[in-house]
Amino acid sequence: MKTPFVELPLKTDDGEFTTRYSETGLTELSFPITSRRRRRGDESQNSINSIESDRDSSRRLLQIKIRGWHRLTEAALKAILAGRQPNKFPPLDLAGTAFQKSVWHALRKIPVGRTKSYGEIAQAIGRPKAVRAVGGACGANPVPVLVPCHRVLAANGKIGGFSGGLERKRRLLAREGVKI
């Protein structure tokens, strides 16, 4: 039986993010909920408390791992939100196509305070004509901010889209010292 996802809140000065973990790492990071957006329901979600009540030793080990990953997620997220490079990241368990995963891997190489264009990412992954597909992969990024799709701009240096909204993208880039 596969372990269900564990969903935990993560409070920051920018609001309460939602994290989801599998038995192998962070699977999702959702932006704080606004009045215009409602959280989606998922019957497979658990809280850490429901795992705590289970006496099975493998469940307790998973609980300990997830608590550690959550601390790493919190530290990394807060560092990036403050415009700094995190010291360490939690393990990631990202569901996506091979193409999407290659884009997300390339995004993680963009340092704090730097940007790349969609075309530069397409070049970096060896698919120079896949510029629009790179944009689609950025939009499908399940852990925005930690996989920094906010650091990707259009070829003309314009801000482009962002799953967290353009104003949030502008704020993240400004905190990193990027001038648009």
pTM of the model as a whole: 0.84
Q: What are phi and psi of 33, to 5 degrees?
A: -75, 135
- Confidence (pLDDT) at 115: 96
Q: With 70 as the cut, is the pLDDT of residue 42 above it? A: no
Regarding whether 110 and 64 lie in a shared domain, the answer is: no
* pLDDT at 144 exceeding the cut of 70: yes
Q: What pLDDT, on the 0 to 100 scale, is given for residue 119?
A: 96
Active-site residue identified among 107, 149, 172, 173:
149
How many alpha carbons fall within 13 Å on the CB side of residue 16?
6
78-81, long-range: CB < 8 A, 24+ apart: 78/12, 80/112, 80/145, 80/146, 80/148, 80/172, 81/12, 81/13, 81/14, 81/145, 81/172, 81/175
**Is 138 annotated as catalytic?**
no
Same domain, 63 and 109: no
Task: Decide if 115 is inside a domain.
Answer: yes
Q: Which of 51, 81, 111 finishes a domain? A: 81
Provide the pLDDT for residue 34: 60
Range of the domain at 118: 98-175
pLDDT of 40 reads 45
Report how many domains make up the chain: 2
Residues 104, 55, single domain; the answer is no
Examine residue 92 and state whether it is found in any structural domain, yes or no.
no
Task: Identify whether 87 is part of a domain.
Answer: no
* Residue at 136 is within a domain: yes
**Better pLDDT: 76 or 56:** 76
Q: Is residue 25 part of a domain?
A: yes
Instruction: Using the predicted structure, report yes or no on whether residue 92 has a pLDDT greater than 80.
Output: yes
Q: Per-residue pLDDT tens for 99-128? A: 999 999 999 999 999 999 999 999 999 999
- 47 and 22, same domain (yes or no): yes
Residues 102 and 171 in one domain: yes
User: Do 51 and 12 fall into the same domain?
Assistant: yes
Evaluate whether residue 41 is within a structural domain: yes
Q: Which of 56, 81, 106 is the last residue of a domain?
A: 81
